[in-house]
Amino acid sequence: MTHNTPLSLRPLHHLAVGRRRLMTAAQLRAHGVSAAQTGEQCRPGGPWQQLLPNVVLLHQGPPTSEERLHAVLLYAARERTVAVNGGGNGGAAAGVPVGVTASVPVQPGPEETPPVPAYAEAMITGLAALTLHGFAAAPPLPSLDVIDVLVPRLRRLRTTGCARIVRTTALPTSVRVTGVPVAPVARALADAVAELADAGAVRRLLTEAVRGGHCEPASVVRELNRARLLSRPHVVDAVDSLVAEGRALAEQRLYRMVREHGLPEPVWNVDLRLPGGPGLGAVDAFWPEHSVALELDTRAHRQREDDALWAEYARKREHLERLGITVVHLTPRRLRDCPEHQATVVRTALMAAGDREPAAYVVALPR
């Protein structure tokens, strides 16, 4: 017996039941539908249509946005081989003919939870993923001609129809949104930006990513750098806006942390210098009575620039600490995720001031 041998004479309309009326050719074979029968059903004017290679839509008319998403995933997902041997009622309960071995893409089903993650080695990325993540600046799903799907680099797939294949050497951990595996925001942004030439659209997406709290600038820029997109002028301009937006949000969180957790009010955004001497560098907050300075690490540029900035941070910190000034270093992500803990770090530094040798006198000038 082969996969193409019909196993049932039941009418085929029973398959087109449920919210997503999609099946792969392998799944149809497992239900006893031969390749010839599938071809007949998908003929012009027939009740079915082939949406993508080996993916059949079990109704006529345009597919819904949900059906397009799942069709792309069915096309791109790695298939697993399952043996249906008729032991117990397992095969019959799932509607799979007894005694058939079929290659079936892993996908969610109403009857049972699959033993491996649904849609193995495939996830939605790019603009479609951003829409699913709730981005207002991303277009609605029905307006997208193609849907990007992320797969491992060595998968033998090609872009076709509404499925655009995006390859990666390291597949990230997907996020489930309405039952669909979706790439994390930073990765989806990079894949979307790779296809966009509109500077305004790129800027709006990057700004919303930070302003909407989806991710931090550093993670976005890291993905853009990995995708080698930081050589494009319109992307660089958008990144500058992104960094500025990220710093503004981090400063707002810092102000809120100080006030909500009862810390003494510092002087904000000052340049420190020795009286009549050279400048010591800028800090985001300074408590003169305690000789404690605070810096926000909002670096989000390319690696080479990061190295130079980090070296500057380190030199400034060493110089200030030699003068007896404690430097507290906070990141925007920690301020966002655990402000209470960061407030404790600052409070501990302020309380320890009385146990230290008096610091050198420095002048704090507004910047």
For 185-204, write each residue's pLDDT tens digit.
Answer: 999 999 999 999 999 999 99
User: pTM for the whole thing?
Assistant: 0.71
How confident is the model over 3-37, as pLDDT tens digits?
A: 444 434 344 555 554 445 899 999 899 889 999 99
Asked whether residue 112 carries a pLDDT value surpassing 60, the answer given is: no
Domain boundaries, the chain: 12-105, 123-248, 261-366
Q: Which of 21, 16, 118, 127 is nearest to 68 (CA)?
A: 21
Transcribe 298-335 into DSSP letters.
Answer: ---S-HHHHHHHHHHHHHHHHHHHHTT-EEEEE-HHHH
- Looking at residue 297, what DSSP letter applies? -
Mean pLDDT of the region 132-142:
96
Q: Are 288 and 270 in contact (CB under 8 A)?
A: no
Q: How many CB atoms lie within 10 A of CB 254?
A: 22
Give the strand pairing for 100-105 and 363-366. unpaired
SS3 214: coil
110 confidence band (pLDDT: 50, 70, 90): very low
Residue corresponding to tokens 């509109």: 198
How confident is the model over 52-100, as pLDDT tens digits?
A: 999 999 998 999 999 999 999 999 998 754 444 444 444 333 333 333 3
Q: How many CB atoms lie within 10 A of CB 237?
A: 13
Residue 279 CA: distances (Å) to CA of 70, 249, 270, 285, 288: 60, 27, 11, 16, 16
Higher pLDDT, residue 177 or 16 = 177
Mean pLDDT of the region 211-226:
89
